[in-house]
């Protein structure tokens, strides 16, 4: 039933490659099937003004897409002179999610920038960004510990994310673009390693959805995210 | 337990005043307690470029706050030269929600702009905007029918929205600002008159939330939104 | 002769409502007939850079219009990414006028932001903004005295403003939109309580105007502004 | 009494040089003492969108200052990414004034851009711009007649402008920068060749001004502008 | 002598990988040592306004860097709201260079966008972009021929580019970042397959350079670019 | 052969007028035939952030064109809200060139802004700007010495610039606009008084150029720049 031939509860092949580029403190290429995102984590001393002197750190995120990551070319946001609403919405989601993984007090007065740049898009770029961005952030935290910038590991738990949706009346896991563009409902879920929910964002694209459908989608998300945690841990060598 | 003395499942006083200003096709003042939003619906002929010639209409939304709608003054977005991420995120949510209430084919090649401007904020501005914006949009659709711009009523159903959250470990309905700023979890729910869900956006501000908590919050939202539908219908004289 | 049936020297009904919203130090709804403007005065510690260390305060103003304050919708300035020339011109006028009412030395190193947001427009929005903004500013100054932010009242005098014009060859007072859009000449006058002039801005929209016409318009402005001072004082309970 | 040693009713030396640059249809260097402004008038076919198909033309103006036209360097507006409020206010004034000199119907569906660029500033840049811009516009209209772009001369009358003010209690004509920066009141007046007023903009910089003072300043403006008309006519060879 | 241990006339390892991403008509990863750039070529029907109706096509280029392509993080241009001078300068150079490789008449009224996005930077990003962008453009032209968008191959010749410089008094080929940041002179050369020069941009960073030094650098550039043409041809399977 | 009737190796008449305006520390009008550029040099205390505390000064440049400096009117960059790529490219070139003329250590923690504003354009605006800007900068340095802002003259050497090109197969010196718009190759060269090269930027507009052609153009540039140094020295009274 799915265009890709996958089972409803089957994720795409997911790959997490660390040290993908050489300059950043964390640099991950994450692939959810044909969706490919470079996630880098950069450590800088200092915090934004609203946090100065509060004895805590900050984690922020930025999201971008290469103009031809998609089937037709999208104008470059830098050339248009502003980031679009979709971009801002996604990078706010990534940053909130990543902050749920750490104890900001233990980050000290430092900021970690997680940049998620989509080099090829096939649906699920925000969930891939969160999943890969978390691994890049862990590498950056390790870097800070090794450099004695911080004393205690701020990591509380891994987080990961997947999309679920109602496609032709069936709940499906990890939508690719052909599904996403036709789905009745699209839901992005971010969870912690210990099963808690960090973000749930469900949108009825066409028809309103029912509580039972939401429950079925949440179950699928739970299954998929558990698989992602295993892949994150394997990539990290844990 | 709640700062306002309300019961956990008790909404604030909600008022919906139609014809609040004189120029717009729909003009509603919506009040959720101390949160006050002017929602106008403006009808214009024509559709955005991406819809030209497709024989359907469009509904879009813009959201703003007066600089001193809040406890401390916020710089005016027009003066800063751009709308912030929060603003863009909210107006995208409002527009998607309102589009779920109508059959865009029946709107013809016309556009309805729903402007939601917060003149006083005390939490829940986006849910008030959706709830009031829907009534303004209904008035605009009636205007279009009366002016013979369209032949059939595009309205499929009313939509309304409320926030729910976990506050000091208890699920509560319709958070005001003192609760919102302290809540562990904040969830905005948009539903249709017939019980379907249009948008669910839950965020763990501090601690991840559990499925049981999510279920309890969804139940509260369902209760609150039913009360809102009654108030919308009363305001509309149905 | 006037579309509204008013006498040439007759103002519209003017209402000044204090404490219209709950957060600002001064919060006034001012109505000149169908023109309705929310004027808030916000007190912040500190002054702009060019005044640092000069031992004086500052008063500034910002002006905006809700998109559907007018008969047809105007695009939101925040969405367009800049304030238009008309907006900047008006807010510069409001700010200069208000500064003429106070002794900035006595304001200390504090700034008062007066925000004038038009929620419904029917001509004369800038004169209503100045008249209502002055009352909001007085409330903010009282707040500063009560909070011991300042020791002596900086208020030198009230200021108020009205428009006058040549309409079908006759000098008229307080133009509404149907008059304003047809007037040969439009003049905005700001005066002090003691009869001094603060700003005079006259523009020939169609035909140049004569000195006698200017004199007749100035006489009308003088009459109208005296009425406004009475209303300001009544609103302030003086 | 005046820093320049001039009599209260004495203008600075004014020079109007036509054909100052070689490309524009009208190109004037106007000097009011040390204030020097290049005014070019450029003719383009077509009108702005809001005038399309109305069978009339348009005249618009833009104003700029070289960064070091003034005593201390001002940041370049192009580099800052926007024109300031002062600039927009001035160019709106110039354009309104120039439109009062012509019958736009006779301009056809053409637009004249009048660019006023201050290369050296010493007070009165806006009045010099209007006075010189009018001459540049006349040259552009002549060009249009010669090229058969239009059949009848659209010029209704010359316009010119001068500033007047209250300086140390005395009404003075044509303020230079040392006076302007100290004046109690500053008034810019635009008049037609036939004695009608087009714009009057008076501002009390420090103390409110009285009707008698305003009358005295208006008399001075009338005298100065008459001298400017003689200089415009001489420059034009009339 | 060189930090990398290379001979003065030795290029870094250069790799050109076609079909690196799946959506674009041409998609090349080009590597000059540690410098890695994704070059995509996108074909769109139509031409910019200034070329409409002239019966020719257009080739344009955009250049960007991921924020952490470099040793320290650079703010994202989309977030800052504008492209910097360096970016604009580079993308103008890439586009001019690529246009020298084709007969624009034969491109028809189509536009090819060449996007060069640096994912890892180690000096020479503009020369790598031109060299890789040319291969992506060739693939896009082949796509147009295969799709019958055009009848005749517009390609006149391959172009390629390399940097040369004076480093510690010695002319060197293909500077990496450690050399580039210390070089006395840096010169970027773009040449055609047949030995003609398309662009020569030499800059004395510290000391002015002599004609003999320029000649020596030009000889090195000639050698390096010949090697690049061999690699381009091999990658294209010619 | 040349449209102007000049010999291939003949420059236009060049004039350098110092003290052209009255406020700037250096103020030069430079004319290369009909190309006229006002170059001012402004001295400000302090340096950009990236140089703070490094004990050296900075020289920067900005370039602009009056809208009607050219044959058809160009939209004002301040009105469009950004400087174009050509502007940024030119001002970066001017600034780099001027910095090659001075020892920045001797400038102290001061910044010199060189503003080059084209009031009339006929080709070669960037080379005129560099040549005139250098003289303005020398005047600013003399001002600093006279005011005891610095102790030792930072000037290392004069720099000057000229364009050369291939026009109808012949190398020509100092292209005017009719030549520039038709030239096969256009090259801008910046040299020092002692014969060193600071910048060489050659572009094949139509056909690639050969080494022999480049050599011939460089010889012409050398001749022209020597003439410019004589004119700079004469203007400076050396």
Tell me which residues of chain A have a C-beta less than 8 Å from any C-beta of chain E: 21-24, 27, 34, 36, 38, 40, 42, 44, 62, 64, 66-73, 76-83, 87, 113, 115, 117, 119-121
Q: Are D152 and D162 in contact (CB under 8 A)?
A: no
pLDDT score for E181: 93
Quick check: is F66 in a domain? yes
Q: Give the whole-angstrom CA distance, residue C155 versus residue B97.
A: 49
pLDDT score for F206: 77
- The answer to whether A86 is annotated as binding is yes
Query: Of the candidates D82, D89, D197, which has its C-beta nearest C202's C-beta?
Result: D197
Exposed (0-12), middle (13-18) or buried (19+): which is E151, by Cβ within 10 Å?
exposed
Tell me which residues of chain E have a C-beta less than 8 Å from any C-beta of chain F: 82, 84-86, 88-89, 91-92, 96, 100, 187, 191-192, 194-204, 207-211, 214, 218
pLDDT score for A123: 97
Quick check: is A65 in a domain? yes
User: From the CA of F48, how many Å to the nearest CA of chain D?
Assistant: 14
CB contact under 8 A, E44 and A69: no
CB contact under 8 A, B85 and A92: yes
Mean pLDDT of C150-174: 97
pLDDT score for F17: 98
Widest Cα–Cα separation across chain D: 56
What are the chain F neighbours of E85 within 8 Å (beta carbons)? Answer: 88-89, 91-92
Q: Testing the interface with C: which of D49, D72, D203, D222 to mutate, by most C Cβ within 10 A? A: D203
Chain D CA closest to residue C202: D200
pTM of the shown model:
0.95
Mean pLDDT of C71-88: 96
Residue C121 domain boundaries: 14-236
Q: Are C33 and C87 in contact (CB under 8 A)?
A: no
Q: Are E103 and E70 in contact (CB under 8 A)?
A: no
The pLDDT of residue D206 is above 80: no
User: From the CA of C114, how many Å to the nearest CA of chain B?
Assistant: 10
Six token digits for residue F118: 């084209």
Six token digits for residue B53: 């010639």
pLDDT score for A216: 98
What are the tens digits of pLDDT across the range A62-111? 999 999 999 999 999 999 999 999 999 999 999 999 999 999 999 999 99
What are the chain B neighbours of A165 within 8 Å (beta carbons)? Answer: none
Q: Are F228 and F160 in contact (CB under 8 A)?
A: yes
What are the chain B neighbours of A84 within 8 Å (beta carbons)? Answer: 88
pLDDT score for C1: 87
Mean pLDDT of A27-31: 98
CB contact under 8 A, A85 and B100: no
Mean pLDDT of D60-73: 98
Chain D CA closest to residue C93: D203
CB contact under 8 A, E78 and A64: yes
pLDDT score for C206: 77
Q: Are A40 and E65 in contact (CB under 8 A)?
A: no
Angle, helices D211-236/D125-146, rounded to nearest 10 degrees: 40
Q: Testing the interface with D: which of C200, C215, C219, C229 to mutate, by most D Cβ within 10 A? A: C200
pLDDT score for E206: 77
Provide the number of CB pairs (under 8 Å) joining chain B to chain C: 102
Mean pLDDT of C144-168: 97
Quick check: is F2 in a domain? no
CB contact under 8 A, C117 and B78: no
What ipTM was reported for this prediction?
0.96
Q: Does an H or E element contain F202, and which?
A: strand F197-204
CB contact under 8 A, A120 and E42: no
pLDDT tens, residue order, chain F (238 aa): 899 999 999 999 999 999 999 999 999 999 999 999 999 999 999 999 999 999 999 999 999 999 999 999 999 999 999 999 999 999 999 999 999 999 999 999 999 999 999 999 999 999 999 999 999 999 999 999 999 999 999 999 999 999 999 999 999 999 999 999 999 999 999 999 999 999 999 999 878 999 999 999 999 999 999 999 999 999 999 9
Q: What is the mean pLDDT of chain E?
A: 97
User: From the CA of F31, how many Å to the nearest CA of chain E?
Assistant: 26
Q: Give the whole-angstrom CA distance, residue C118 versus residue C30.
A: 10
pLDDT score for A61: 98
CB contact under 8 A, A67 and E67: no
User: From the CA of C61, how many Å to the nearest CA of chain B?
Assistant: 11
CB contact under 8 A, C218 and D200: no
Query: Of the candidates C44, C66, C71, which has its C-beta nearest B38's C-beta?
Result: C66
What are the tens digits of pLDDT across the range D138-150? 999 999 999 999 9
Q: Which of F79, F45, F38 is nearest to F62 (CA)?
A: F38
E53 Cβ partners below 8 Å, 6+ apart?
A: none
What are the tens digits of pLDDT across the range D86-117? 999 999 999 999 999 999 999 999 999 999 99
Q: Give the whole-angstrom CA distance, residue C91 versus residue A147.
A: 53
Mean pLDDT of D195-215: 94
Query: Of the candidates C21, C67, C117, which has its C-beta nearest B62's C-beta?
Result: C67
DSSP letter for D174, please. Answer: S
CB contact under 8 A, D77 and F78: yes
Q: Are B199 and B96 in contact (CB under 8 A)?
A: yes
The pLDDT of residue A60 is above 90: yes
What are the tens digits of pLDDT across the range A167-192? 999 999 999 999 999 999 999 999 99
Quick check: is C2 in a domain? no
List the chains bordering chain D where 3 or more Cβ pairs fall under 8 Å.
Answer: C, F
Alpha helices in chain E (DSSP H): 77-80, 85-99, 125-146, 177-180, 211-236
Quick check: is A5 in a domain? no
Quick check: is B222 in a domain? yes
pLDDT score for E30: 98
What percent of chain D has a predicted confidence (pLDDT) above 90? Answer: 98
Provide the number of CB pairs (under 8 Å) joining chain A to chain B: 85
What are the chain D neighbours of F69 within 8 Å (beta carbons)? Answer: 21, 23
List the chains bordering chain F where 3 or more Cβ pairs fall under 8 Å.
Answer: D, E
User: From the CA of D22, how many Å to the nearest CA of chain C?
Assistant: 31
pLDDT score for C30: 98
Number of domains observed in the structure of chain D: 1
Provide the number of CB pairs (under 8 Å) joining chain E to chain F: 85
B69 Cβ partners below 8 Å, 6+ apart?
A: B118, B119, B120, B121, C21, C23
The pLDDT of residue E205 is above 90: no
Chain F CA closest to residue D118: F66
pLDDT score for C205: 82
User: From the CA of C129, how many Å to the nearest CA of chain B?
Assistant: 15
- Per-residue pLDDT band at D205 (split at 50, 70, 90): confident
What are the chain F neighbours of D22 within 8 Å (beta carbons)? Answer: 34, 120
pLDDT tens, residue order, chain B (238 aa): 899 999 999 999 999 999 999 999 999 999 999 999 999 999 999 999 999 999 999 999 999 999 999 999 999 999 999 999 999 999 999 999 999 999 999 999 999 999 999 999 999 999 999 999 999 999 999 999 999 999 999 999 999 999 999 999 999 999 999 999 999 999 999 999 999 999 999 999 878 999 999 999 999 999 999 999 999 999 999 9
What are the tens digits of pLDDT across the range C91-123? 999 999 999 999 999 999 999 999 999 999 999
What are the chain F neighbours of D78 within 8 Å (beta carbons)? Answer: 64, 76-78, 82-83, 87
Question: What residues are paired with B160 via a beta bridge?
Answer: B191
What are the tens digits of pLDDT across the range A119-128? 999 999 999 9
What are the chain C neighbours of D200 within 8 Å (beta carbons)? Answer: 187, 200-202, 214
Angle, helices A125-146/A85-99, rounded to nearest 10 degrees: 50
What is the CATH classification number for the domain harbouring A181? 3.30.230.70
CB contact under 8 A, C211 and D201: no
CB contact under 8 A, E85 and F82: no
The separation between the first and the last C-alpha atoms of chain A, rounded to the nearest angstrom, is 37
CB contact under 8 A, C78 and B66: no
Q: Give the whole-angstrom CA distance, residue B115 versus residue D164.
A: 45
Tokens 């999201």 correspond to A63
What are the tens digits of pLDDT across the range F48-99? 999 999 999 999 999 999 999 999 999 999 999 999 999 999 999 999 999 9
In this structure, the number of other CB atoms found within 10 A of the CB of residue F203 comes to: 21
Q: Give the whole-angstrom CA distance, residue C165 versus residue C171.
A: 6
pLDDT score for F125: 98
In this structure, the number of other CB atoms found within 10 A of the CB of residue C66 comes to: 25
Mean pLDDT of C54-79: 97
What are the tens digits of pLDDT across the range E126-180? 999 999 999 999 999 999 999 999 999 999 999 999 999 999 999 999 999 999 9
B175 Cβ partners below 8 Å, 6+ apart?
A: B123, B124, B163, B164, B165, B167, B183, B186
CB contact under 8 A, A76 and E27: no
What are the chain B neighbours of A192 within 8 Å (beta carbons)? Answer: 208
pLDDT score for E166: 96
Quick check: is B3 in a domain? no
CB contact under 8 A, D119 and F119: yes
Mean pLDDT of E19-25: 98
């Amino acid at each position: 039933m799915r265009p890709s031939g996958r089972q409803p509860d089957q994720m795409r092949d997911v790959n997490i490659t660390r040290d993908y580029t050489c300059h950043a403190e964390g640099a991950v290429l994450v692939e959810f099937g044909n969706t490919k995102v470079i996630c880098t984590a950069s450590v800088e001393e200092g915090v934004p003004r609203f946090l100065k002197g509060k004895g805590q750190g900050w984690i922020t995120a930025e999201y971008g897409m290469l103009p031809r990551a998609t089937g037709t070319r999208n104008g470059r946001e830098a050339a248009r002179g502003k980031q679009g609403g979709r971009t801002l919405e996604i990078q706010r989601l990534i940053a909130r999610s990543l902050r749920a993984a750490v104890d900001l007090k233990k980050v000290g007065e430092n900021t970690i920038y997680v940049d998620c740049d989509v080099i090829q898009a096939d649906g699920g770029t925000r969930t891939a960004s969160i999943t890969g961005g978390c691994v890049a952030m862990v590498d950056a935290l390790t870097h800070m510990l090794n450099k004695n910038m911080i004393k205690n590991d701020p990591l509380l738990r891994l987080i990961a994310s997947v999309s679920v949706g109602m496609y032709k009346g069936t709940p499906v896991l990890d939508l690719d673009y052909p599904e996403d563009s036709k789905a009745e409902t699209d839901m992005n879920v971010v969870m912690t390693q210990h099963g808690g929910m960090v973000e749930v964002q469900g949108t009825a694209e066409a028809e309103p959805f029912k509580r039972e459908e939401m429950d079925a989608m949440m179950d699928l998300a739970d299954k998929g995210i558990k698989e992602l945690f295993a892949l994150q841990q394997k990539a990290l060598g844990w």
